[in-house]
Homo-oligomer: A and B are copies of this chain.
Amino acid sequence: MLSHTEENYLKALLKLSFQNEEKPEAGTNEMAAYLGVKPATATDMLKKLKEKELVTYKKYGKILLTELGRAKGIAILRKHRLWETFLYEKLDFSWDEVHEVAEQLEHIQSPKLVNKLEEFLDFPEFDPHGDPIPRANGELPTVDKVLLTDVKAGESCQVVAVKDTSTVFLQYLEKLQVTIGTLVKVMEVVDFDGSMNIQIASSDPRNVSMKFAESLFVKKKTSVTV
């Protein structure tokens, strides 16, 4: 049985491993920063997780999840994203409110609960932010996605996920009526600052910053021209 704290370390390591795709290892300071603790604290915990064979750790070395540690991490991420979906779909939470509560709910221990919840939600593949929900067997649904910055002028695409899940960004998207599934057409890319003129659904085109375009994942639409 893992404590909330241990679980948070495992999930953090998993998330960090997703970030640096090629190199799924993390450093002590990186982990500490992610979790909001001091490096000394992370060192202690990493030693403990090593004892439990959940991470590989050597003094001054990089940290990696073991198979077991990864499985535990995936299980927590699965709960997190299922709960977010529940809050969003069933309890009418907005997509900027779900994360904080799911951060607590992900630690509830009950295999039956997780699986019944998944069934109740009709086996969703993605959470409200477009992130894949791990299956009971640990597999992650995939979807090919690129950043909006990779879409060229004239191309169309569909929003599939947000890269930045901060409240301020999510609320801005809401104001712009951008949500998962929204169609976006890139009208023009401004060389000067990387900003874009985009048409959201069928509204009037508007300019968005490069920072914006770097925070949104989309799927390119094969243009419907002959």
Q: B-contacting residues of A (Cβ < 8 Å)?
A: 87, 90-93, 97, 100-101, 104-105, 108-110, 112-113, 116-117, 120
A108 contacts B104, CB within 8 Å?
yes
Is A113 a contact of B90 with CB atoms below 8 Å?
no
Interfacial chain B residues near A101, Cβ < 8 Å: 108, 110, 112-113
Instruction: Kindly state the separation between the CA atoms of A117 and B136 in the bound complex, as whole angstroms.
Output: 25
The residue on B at minimum CB distance from A116 is B91
A105 to B97, CA, bound (A): 18
* Residue ID in chain B nearest A110 by CB atoms: B101
Q: Does A104 contact B110, Cβ atoms closer than 8 Å?
A: yes
Q: How far is the CA of A106 from the CA of B163 in the complex (A)?
A: 32
For the complex with contacts A91-B113, A101-B108, 13 further pairs of A-B residues with Cβ separation under 8 Å are: A90-B120, A91-B116, A91-B117, A91-B120, A92-B116, A97-B112, A100-B110, A101-B110, A101-B113, A104-B108, A104-B109, A104-B110, A105-B105
The chain B residue with its CB closest to the CB of A91 is B116
Q: Report the nearest B residue to A101, measured CB to CB.
A: B110
Give 20 pairs: A residue, B residue, CB < 8 Å, sorted on A: A87-B113, A90-B120, A91-B113, A91-B116, A91-B117, A91-B120, A92-B116, A93-B112, A93-B116, A97-B112, A100-B110, A101-B108, A101-B110, A101-B112, A101-B113, A104-B108, A104-B109, A104-B110, A105-B105, A105-B108
Q: This chain: how many copies in the complex?
A: 2
Contacts of A109 in B (CB 8 A): 104
Q: Which residues of B contact A90 (CB under 8 A)?
A: 120
User: In the complex the two chains form, what is the Cα distance from A97 to B111 in whole Å?
Assistant: 12
> What is the CB-to-nearest-CB distance from A119 to chain B, in angstroms, rounded to a whole number?
8
List the B residue with the shortest CB-CB distance to A107: B104
Q: What 6 A-B pairs come out closest when comparing CB atoms?
A: A91-B116, A101-B110, A104-B108, A101-B113, A91-B120, A90-B120
Within the complex, the shortest CB–CB distance from A123 to chain B, in Å, comes to 14
Inter-chain CA distance A11–B80, complex, in Å, is 27
How many Å from the CB of A23 to the closest CB on chain B? Answer: 36
- Distance of A93 Cα from B114 Cα, bound (Å): 12
